[in-house]
Structure 1
Amino acid sequence: MGKVSDQVPLLLKKEDEFDHLNKIPLWVSLTKLILKVIMWLIFIAWATFIFFSPTKFTERLQEKIILATRETIFGTTGSIFLISSFPIFMIAFLAIIRLALSGEDEPQVKKTAKAPNFRLWTFPVLVDGPFGVVTAAEMIGIILFSVYIVWAIIMYTIQDVDLLSLFHVHSMKDKSVVLLEITGLRFGFIGLICLAFLFLPVARGSVLLRAIDIPFEHATRYHVWLGHLTMALFTLHGLFFVIGWAMRGRLVEELIDWKNVGVANLPGVISLAAGLLMWVTSLPGLRRKNFELFFYTHQLYVVFVVFLALHVGDFIFMTTGAGIFLFMLDRFLRFFQSRKTVDILSTTCFPCGTVELIISKPANLHYNALGWIFLQIRELSWLQWHPFSVSSSPLDGKHHVAILIKVLGDWTEKLKGNILNLSVEQSENEPLLQHKRKITASVEGPYGHESPYHLTYENLILVAGGIGISPFLAILSDILHRINDSKPCLPRNILIVWAIKNSDELLLLNTVDMQAICPLFSDKLNLEIQTFVTRESHPSLEEGKTPKAMHTTISPGFKGCRMSSLVGTGNVVWSGLYLMVSTIGLVITVALLNIFYIIPFNVNYWWYKGLLMIGCMAASILIFGGLVIVLWHLWERKTSPKEEPREDTSNKADFLQQNEQKNFGEARFVNNIRYGQRPDFQEIFGSHAKSWGSVDIGVVVCGPPTLQSSVAKECRRQNLQRRDHQAIFHFNSHSFDL
């Protein structure tokens, strides 16, 4: 693949235009920088306080803060909230302002440095192991968390031995029991610290994730890691107490004990049992064999959280309050978005067992080409939600979004069967049955990266396995639209490496009409596709003939049922108001509860106050957050355009039908198809590194874990063996694996 040297003057001119388009007012840039610095200072101060919490200095400092603030109407609960949860809310509020300053209309594409450089987030360190592919930045986080756990256990153990003298116990058995119970208490506290982080990664539209540009498919991994750690600590917490109670001969009595003042044991047992059930069913082997069991048992998180609050009471529960409250906010907003049914404008069933759905969306719902949506088909299941990467660019049309679904399990088999049945009914001209039988879709999202990082590399290598080509079709379409419209876009050299099992999957490439999007794209974009058909040794189709895809229009006319814009990654101002108003509502609700109920009636039962705190969280979201959602919905209805989406999708089926009979050897791009081979990443990466020279090469992989590991291993090898004036490979994963 040669260089496009004749296009250099043109490209330089385009980059100058991009710089002009990306020009941001100085006061905006300065304000964003100041906000970013303040956010980092707050986080570092909060994390430092947590890290040194096992020391006596920090304990005394915390006692002073509590003594200085507990005389307010919020009492000790307010003091713990101020120490543990308030910094998180402050960071979230500042993040909202920063995101609002960034704007939503056109993503900022920053020009890469002239010389290639390494980046912590894209340098794979660990490739094979229990954590999967781990980048340098993630490795630093894992090390810091591990150091804190070890440090806390050592410091608390030293303190626990010193505390034994205060209990006036003399026999070795009594000393062992006391030491077991104190150690169990310490494990419980460390588990609460981990729990404070546990719910943050699974708040899909969280402003915190958007602020640091971590998409939910990456954040889910952190939730998994933290979940294992948290449950291990809580299990040790419970186990140490159980052993101590058994040694005292009071095991049954303590297990069913429900104290009014102090920690209530029975709710803790119930909470731990729910957590253990979630933990066991989430282990990789059982989760893969029976995903539905994992999914349904994971709904026990409600039992886990509620009974945890009953177990520890309100003020200890507020140690984890921020993360749980932000998750509740996200879950409530997702509930509102998913209540709306959505029009499926058309479907396509490909011979390879892949289904394309084109879903109606409002014009003001923005996303980038590396987006994800969660889909529910109520005719198949009322509880199951499945994530799918978007296969269309936001520039393909304002009123629709497309996804590709590979038929792999029971749910997808039923979906394809329903679509084929509807197709037969339409072909037989049975309009009555058509109206009775339809597919009703509900959607959550879109989610994904806050910024389109695929636009920040001049050189891209996209590695896909099977249906993993879906997001790369969106990337390719996005880049072609931007080149054609002279919008900010850096990629000029693109290599797509696609590994498929059978040649009938090749038809998926024709879902992107490159020539129609950008007629002269070959003059401005150096595109090469290398396809590896692993289970066929030679072409199995007759020359000039390809299997036909089945096209269906399900909805008999557009009924105006688009995806809801009520999503955390949607309008920054409204989603920010939703968070701020709900948080202020929580403070008001707790204050009113204390003034008119808890203080006048001298309510001091720990478990009851913990339950009231959960109630205050739910009430503030329902009342204050619900009010913002209603106003947001009314504003969306008033400002959203009334156009029908026909101009976006009317020629989609015609385009596919026209291109089905095209020979792939005559495609509008360089497509090297190799049969009976697997990609040799060492040869592919090495040859293109020499061809492209000393540049940053963005590598994006979407496929099974084995493919990700292979690509990450080669990126690491190329970078470690790199010499001067050679390329640096930046590893990025776009795969979602629960």
Structure 2
Amino acid sequence: MDEHSIHDSLLLRPEDVSDYAKKSPAWASLVKSILRSLMWGIFVAWVTIIFIYPCDFYTKLNTKFLLSIERTLFGITGAVFLLYSGPIIVIAILAILYLIIRGDEELQEKKTSKSPRYRLWTFPIIVDGPISVITASELIGISLFSAYVVWASSVYLLKNFHIVLSYQLAFKEASIKMLELMGLRFGAIGMFCMSFLFIPISRGSVLLRLIDIPFEHATRYHVWLGHLTMLIFTLHGLLYIVGWALDGRLLEEILQWKNIGIANLAGVISLLAGLLMWVTSLHPVRRQYFELFFYTHQLYVIFVVFFALHVGDFVFSISAGGIFLFMLDRFLRFCQSRKTVNILSASSLPCGTIELVLSKPSHLKYNALSFIFLQIRELSWLQWHPFSVSSSPLEGKHHMTILLKVLGEWTDKLKGNVSNILDYKHDVKQSQPRLSLTASVEGPYGHESQYHLSYENLILIAGGIGISPFLAILSDILHRIRDGIPCMSRNILVIWAVKSSDEFPILQTLNIQSICPNHSDMLNLDIQTYVTQQSEPNLENGKMNNCVYSPIFFTPSKQGISSLVGTGHMVWSGAYVVVSIVGFIATVALLDEYYINPFSIQCWWYKGLLFVACMVASVIVFGGGVVGLWHVWDVKNSKREAKKYDGQKHANSMITDSRVLEEETVGDSMGSLNNIHYGRRPDFKGIFKSVSDSWGCVDIGVIVCGPPSLSSSVAKECRSHSFSRKQNHPILHFHSHSFDL
């Protein structure tokens, strides 16, 4: 292959420069550097405060600070919020400014190293552990949290020994006192863990966008933090229960609800709700009884509210920052999901996979590794299921495609509904039967940057329906090559493991030949399919089964996916966050000025309830006002698009034509690219060795989408390759795109 032809084909056309090669001016780069430094400085200071919190010298400084501003408008609650929740709120505001200034810079515009190098976030360290694959950067994070818990527990234990010994109590009384003090200390540790607990679960969080961690990865961190937090809170409760039982006042203490001080009964209710969530979230229960896990997890509302009643407003404000950002995300998701979305077409593949084409506005942006949460109201009003997007954002401005494999009760019901509509179409001989599926969508979510475009060499490893996001990647790269948009990819190896050849039609949903007929001159693409439970081909003699599309309904594209999403328009979503924060501060100030201070409200649990009410009210009233204006802007934008987008029938026919494949063309195109191996599994050690010998000393992005066992196997070989790597061999960068709730 001629290197010059590759280079020339990836050059921008003059008309594309304004859209795809916007370079930041000098002032923007300077401002971004300042913002990055500020955010890092605030974060390091915040973490430092958390680490030194148990120390005596900090306790004295903290007490002096709180007493000095006790009589101000916000009082101790405001001071505690400023110290422990304020940093994460300020970082969120700075992140909004940073993302707005950064704009839509393409990842491939960033300078890349001439020689390959290791990266902490793509280097797998633990591959066979109980919590799946852990990279070096994740291990550092786990180590920091573990170090904090051990450090804080040790410091508190020593302090408690000194306190108990100073009382000169009998052994039983000393033991009870020690248990209660350690219970109190574990409660403090748990509150700081809870400060981080809700941040990863905010799907469109500006913080996740800032550090470019997609929600499917952040969910793992929420799970880990959830286990740690509930373990600590369980110890907190058990130590108190044992101490009270030894002292003979267990029932009295459990039922106690003080006005001044800790409300024990509220804490018991909060802990019970947390334990129910924790038990049903354990992997065996979650896997076998997902609906039980899903519905029980809605008890987080009870958990948070009664936690605030338990500790009061000023203690609750330690963890309030992360909870408030989660509330902002949850309300925005609620607003987006109220809108119904048109299903432009539904197709049933011979292998049982369903393809849905959803309507979307052209200004709703996503990338090739995005996913959405889908609800079909005819199936359930409560269940939401995540699906990877299988179409490139360059494939069409007004539609988005997803593939659904029938793997459970919900998808089986969907297949039944689609089949019923198809039967109706054939019976009445109508080309456009009435739509009987109503969809709602949350998202799209995913990586902020399109990291797959930063690699010249890619290995895409999929298991079964895990090929879906890779179809989007291939489509995206082919469209970029065809349209002259910057794209570094030159060598792509696709490894696809399936149980039987019945799965082949999934691959045929991507019409490579029609997207970029001359792709072989610009891209070295190789597809290796492994059929693990079939020793020989079917009667077709190894030839891929032709894909037969059966579009069963089409509807006007007036109702697209709502753009009210945290990963959408940065200015609007930023305004929503900032106005809500300002509204929260104003609401608390008004409450203090005209109610709490004048009437000398001292009841801890009541003030905790008012604090939570202020958080909710600021999100709904102030944030809701911005969302309303955002919705009006979205509607006007959609109407403007509709005028430019002449004729809905013509639009639908274009979509239909693009999705209904010509069997012979597709079969020939995919057949020439696909090498099929029957009766065996991929030998990743041999595959990586072959690639190392042929591709040389380069960076290779290895992206895996499939079951946890597949991710672990690939990560193990990536790690082994890294440890035994020769100087002239490539560095493999491991990425997992699996979503495992």
Superposition TM-score, scaled by structure 1 size: 0.96
Q: Which moved more, 1:326-335 or 1:645-654?
A: 645-654
Deviations 1:437-470 (A, max 9, x none): 6000000000000000000000000000000000
Letter in structure 2 aligned against 1:702: C
Letter in structure 1 aligned against 2:694: S
> Of residues 487, 490, 496 in structure 2, which corresponds to 1:489?
487
The answer to whether the 8 Å contact 1:108/1:451 transfers is no
The answer to whether the 8 Å contact 1:210/1:450 transfers is yes
| Matching residue of 1:47 | 47
CA distance in 1, matches of 2:94, 2:357: 37
The answer to whether the 8 Å contact 1:529/1:669 transfers is no
Is 1:124 aligned with 2:124? Answer: yes
| Matching residue of 1:587 | 585
| Matching residue of 1:155 | 155
Is 1:684 aligned with 2:687? Answer: yes
> Equivalences for 1:339-738 in 2 at 5 Å?
339-429=338-428, 434-435=433-434, 438-543=436-541, 546=545, 549-555=548-554, 557-558=555-556, 560-640=558-638, 641-642=641-642, 643=645, 650-651=653-654, 653-654=656-657, 657-661=660-664, 664=667, 667=670, 669-738=672-741
Q: Give the SS at the match of 1:726.
A: coil
Query: Cα gap change, 1:630/1:105 in structure 2, threshold over 3 Å: closer, same or farther?
Result: farther
| Matching residue of 1:173 | 172
| Matching residue of 1:235 | 234
Q: Give the SS at the match of 2:258.
A: coil
Deviations 1:106-144 (A, max 9, x none): 565424211000000000000011121000000000011
Query: Cα gap change, 1:541/1:343 in structure 2, threshold over 3 Å: closer, same or farther?
Result: farther
Post-superposition offset of 1:8:
3.8
Q: Give the SS at the match of 1:428.
A: helix
Is 1:7 aligned with 2:3? Answer: yes
Letter in structure 1 aligned against 2:276: L
The answer to whether the 8 Å contact 1:546/1:661 transfers is no
Post-superposition offset of 1:550:
4.7
Query: Cα gap change, 1:515/1:13 in structure 2, threshold over 3 Å: closer, same or farther?
Result: closer
Post-superposition offset of 1:12:
6.6
CA distance in 2, matches of 1:675, 1:39: 53
CA distance in 1, matches of 2:528, 2:730: 20
Post-superposition offset of 1:547:
6.0
Query: Cα gap change, 1:24/1:539 in structure 2, threshold over 3 Å: closer, same or farther?
Result: same
The answer to whether the 8 Å contact 2:508/2:666 transfers is no
| Matching residue of 1:146 | 146
Q: Give the SS at the match of 1:366.
A: coil
Deviations 1:68-120 (A, max 9, x none): 33322111100100101111011111100110012138565424211000000
Query: Cα gap change, 1:656/1:577 in structure 2, threshold over 3 Å: closer, same or farther?
Result: closer
CA distance in 2, matches of 1:368, 1:470: 14
CA distance in 2, matches of 1:389, 1:104: 22
The answer to whether the 8 Å contact 2:11/2:485 transfers is no
Q: Which moved more, 1:96-105 or 1:205-214?
A: 96-105
The answer to whether the 8 Å contact 2:183/2:237 transfers is yes
The answer to whether the 8 Å contact 2:478/2:519 transfers is yes
Post-superposition offset of 1:659:
3.7
CA distance in 1, matches of 2:594, 2:191: 30
The answer to whether the 8 Å contact 2:108/2:487 transfers is no
Q: Give the SS at the match of 1:271.
A: helix
The answer to whether the 8 Å contact 1:355/1:416 transfers is yes
Letter in structure 2 aligned against 1:364: H
CA distance in 2, matches of 1:405, 1:512: 15
CA distance in 2, matches of 1:666, 1:616: 60
Query: Cα gap change, 1:482/1:297 in structure 2, threshold over 3 Å: closer, same or farther?
Result: same
Identity of aligned residues (%): 57
Post-superposition offset of 1:173:
0.4
Letter in structure 2 aligned against 1:157: L
CA distance in 2, matches of 1:397, 1:372: 16
Deviations 1:18-56 (A, max 9, x none): 999253222212211221111111101100110111111
Post-superposition offset of 1:686:
0.9
CA distance in 2, matches of 1:13, 1:666: 21
| Matching residue of 1:327 | 326
| Matching residue of 1:281 | 280
| Matching residue of 1:295 | 294
Post-superposition offset of 1:553:
3.6
CA distance in 1, matches of 2:654, 2:52: 62
CA distance in 2, matches of 1:86, 1:37: 17
The RMSD of aligned alpha carbons is 2.0
- Count of aligned pairs between the two proteins: 731
> Equivalences for 1:179-190 in 2 at 5 Å?
179-190=178-189
Query: Cα gap change, 1:645/1:490 in structure 2, threshold over 3 Å: closer, same or farther?
Result: farther
Deviations 1:199-258 (A, max 9, x none): 000000000000000000000000000000000000000000000100110011111110
Q: Give the SS at the match of 1:395.
A: coil
Q: Give the SS at the match of 1:162.
A: helix
| Matching residue of 2:81 | 81
| Matching residue of 1:90 | 90
CA distance in 2, matches of 1:462, 1:276: 39
Letter in structure 2 aligned against 1:696: D
The answer to whether the 8 Å contact 2:463/2:497 transfers is yes
Q: Give the SS at the match of 2:428.
A: coil
> Equivalences for 1:195-344 in 2 at 5 Å?
195-344=194-343
CA distance in 1, matches of 2:678, 2:112: 37
CA distance in 1, matches of 2:489, 2:111: 11
CA distance in 1, matches of 2:550, 2:706: 26
Q: Give the SS at the match of 1:568.
A: coil
Q: Give the SS at the match of 2:346.
A: strand
Deviations 1:471-519 (A, max 9, x none): 0000000001111111121111000000011112111122122222222
CA distance in 2, matches of 1:30, 1:15: 28
Letter in structure 2 aligned against 1:30: L
Letter in structure 1 aligned against 2:338: R
Could you list the runs of 5+ residues in structure 1 that have no partner in the other structure? none
The answer to whether the 8 Å contact 2:692/2:730 transfers is yes
Query: Cα gap change, 1:13/1:656 in structure 2, threshold over 3 Å: closer, same or farther?
Result: closer
